[in-house]
A and B are shown apart, each in its own frame.
Chain A
Amino acid sequence: MNKVENNRAWFLVLPVLLLVAFSAVIPLMTVVNYSIQDILDPHTRFFVGDEWFREMLRDSQLQSALGRQLIFSFSVLAIQIPLGIAIALCMPTRGIWVAISLVLVALPLLVPWNVVGTIWQLFARGDIGLLGVTLNSIGIEYNYTRGSTAAWFTVLAMDVWHWTSLVVLLCYSGLRAIPDAYYQAARIDGASRIAVFRYIQLPRLAGVLTIAVLLRFMDSFMIYAEPFVLTGGGPGSSTTFLSQHLATMAIAQFDVSRAAAFSLIYFLIILAISWVFYTIITRATKD
């Protein structure tokens, strides 16, 4: 067959290219632009190369915020993924309770971030909040505005309350997609409940779990509004996560160049860790 070389079809990609340019590339390039210059006022700027990046990577505040962030995100995953699977397994599969339990489970997802923060701020208060008063009355000293451990666990509990539902819903849909024949075959084969979970349910949840892990990791790594409202990053800097650190730098201190370099680093960290997760999970399910 005679093939005519003709690459004009590439022009068809142009609209998408323009769209992506305006929505992603140009804003991102602005950030890159800030990150490699020192801007003193609108007319005075110096090219500084990678200086801001070096400085940011050496910044001890950033390093400790990153450490807190990693511990937080991995705690979130370690709690929410198993808890989400467990709840999804317990949910009813037929009858009127399906709709009721789905709505109940989905409710926390409908509450806006800052409202969640406010709810928990009141809920956890030692003088009037249900959680705070209860904990104090059974003899556990609890004050999330003073104790950094208490603050950290409150933020974690709040995130679990807010987002486990997402994992539950994803797992529930994954479980519903398993044909009945698998369960029937397992019963014929005399498989135990654990074997059914290990060999039928878990392998078939791999797809939705990949999505759940990635979404939960990315979201928790970028958490901002809830701890900002609940603790304001305190006490001290015990619940100051990366995004809040960044916001303080960019908005409160108006240090846009440092903030730009930092946000690029932040972006690359998320990208890298997500890629690692994705690769590990898809590898594990492949063979």
Chain B
Amino acid sequence: MTLTATPPPAGAGTTAPGTSTSPTAATLWRRGRGVLAAALLVLVVAALTVLATGTNAPGAPLDPRDATPDGGRALAEILGDRGVRVERVSGIEEIMRLDGPDTQILLTDTSHLSTSDVTRLVQGRSDLLIAGPVAALSRLAPEARPKAQAVARSREPGCALPAAVRAGSVYLGGIAFTTPRGAVGCYPSDDGPTLVRTTGARTVTVTGDNGFMSNRRLAEDGNAALAINLAGAKPVLAWVVEPDREQGGTGTPGSGRATLGELIPAQVPWAVVQLGVALLLAALWRGRRLGPVVAERLPVAVRAAETVEGRGRLYRARRARDRAAATLRAATAARIAPRLGLAGDAGPDSIIAATALRTGQDPRWVHSVMYGPTPADDAGLVALAGHLDTLERQVREP
């Protein structure tokens, strides 16, 4: 007998108190403390790494705070060391607050400024340093008209502008401009200069490209010199950047264009957070299993007839009419021989003769059915099976 563990006899009391299989708090702590320590270690290392490398605020290209290769932090730091007050501004109000004869405004992108903002910039008194192709170029510097594309590469000054002459060759390109009368054009490409300065009531400097100011290129050629000479021309530099995204709707100029986010009440995101909590609780509720999953060894489920079906399919796939016909004929012969009073190993002739005698059929037909040629096609095989059945029935019921 292999019956397991008989139950304690009735009256002997309950099962031992140690039947519980759930882990106790102490077990959980012992089991989990290793994982906990590892997680804590990973967190500490990550925190230390972040602290050691310092903050690195990512921003738009040529942001004075951005230390990535595309940023402009290197130039901003150098200018600061040289006594230039670098102000990082984005809104038009901020820009116009600094407006004055001692200020130069550095524009690398004007896509966030509206038409009216640009108009106010045009009316201002500050110098303008427009670096790279900006959308509002035609209004800010109407004299410097773009003429052609120019490949960015190292170019020679080729003009009398002191800032350019002192800097020497610079990595510049982007746009080649027409040189209006009374303006200075430097760093010429085949189609025209890539740096144009007009002087009048205010000095406006336009470069075809701003790559030379970026952290990546500042150390090459005379890039740093040119950037410092241009941007450090005035004691105050208003460095215009795109507004930070976190500033939200309030800082966005043009109060008439509220975004979808501004129109949703502040309660809604928090309600969504609360719904998330509800969802999490529902998941915990439904996901908690009542007891263990019970595995079981299942028996094999193979139909015994599978081999026979496989053989039938093989016959069919190979169109094995010869084998199929021979098997069917042999089976019929084996079945009718005893009914004809013949031994199991009786020869074809005696079987044919006895069958023809019993059924009254033509012996030649019986021969062709029982021992004739292999059917030429599947239809012939089906017909042969029918004939064999007929013959067998007639032998059984003459």
Judge: A and B partners, yes or no: no
User: Which residues of A are in contact with B by a Cβ distance under 8 Å?
Assistant: none
